[in-house]
Amino acid sequence: MIFEEIQKKVRKHADRDKAEVLKRFFKTGPGQYGEGDIFLGIPVPALRKISQECRNTSVADMTRLLRSSMHEERVLALFLLVDAYARGDDVTKKKIYSLYLKNTRYINNWDLVDLSAPNIVGQHLMDKDRKPLYRLATSGDLWKKRIAILATFTFIRQNDFADSLNIAQLLLSDEHDLIHKAIGWMLREVGKRDLQSEEKFLRRHYRIMPRTMLRYAIERFPERKRKKYLEGKM
């Protein structure tokens, strides 16, 4: 399906009232992390359905969608790219991975990062040198840093925790709440699989971790243990 047809299909679902709600939810006001982003008001299930109907879209048209000013068209582009990566041969996978990293400026909200970074960046680096993650983590760009830590979710699922913990340590002093939440989430995922590894990290760093990061990391701990961490008594 060509770009114009996809765009027409997407915009049939636009809802002005929902768009206003999404603008507030994704913090698009002046000085907020999603400042200036434009929403059509389309729910994610509708975008997933459209992505299934448009699986034969060319990578070139996926790229055009990814560079759209409309948030939901970027969401759709990433659904398509994730699917194309999963189904592609080695050449296609490398092409999509490279395209992704060249277009991170358009992957500029937490939902866009979270639905794509593990499935493209993490998956691609599973059996490769992971230095690109450290370049992203130290880039100074909010979304690149979130891509770096979220990409490691793929490794965590394979019981490979080293990069998650290393990047978490690199970003301990980051000032942004969205990084605190992402790291806390990944630490919690490590703990689901290897509580000892998570607690070893926490005992070393919990007194200096941002509060939000710590709360996310210990969310599933027994209440008594949670309180000890929060009170600095571990």
Of 49, 73, 106, which residue constitutes the final position of a domain? 106
Token readout for 2 is 């060509």
Say whether both 36 and 97 belong to one domain: yes
Q: Are residues 136 and 54 in the same domain?
A: no
Number of H helices and E strands in the chain, helices first, is 16, 0
Label residues 107-141 b or e (16+ Cβ within 10 Å = b). bbbbbbbbbbbbbbbbbbbeeeebebbeebbeeee
Amino acid at 232: G
Q: Are residues 230 and 176 part of one domain?
A: yes
Question: Is 114 a domain residue?
Answer: no
> What confidence tens digit (pLDDT) does each residue in 128-152 have?
999 999 999 999 999 999 999 999 9
* Domain of residue 67, residue span: 1-106
Total domains, the chain: 2
Residues 146 and 65 in one domain: no
Residues 74 and 17 in one domain: yes
Task: Give pTM, 2 decimals.
Answer: 0.95
CATH of residue 96's domain is: 1.25.10.90
pLDDT tens column, 49-99: 999 999 999 999 999 999 999 999 999 999 999 999 999 999 999 999 999
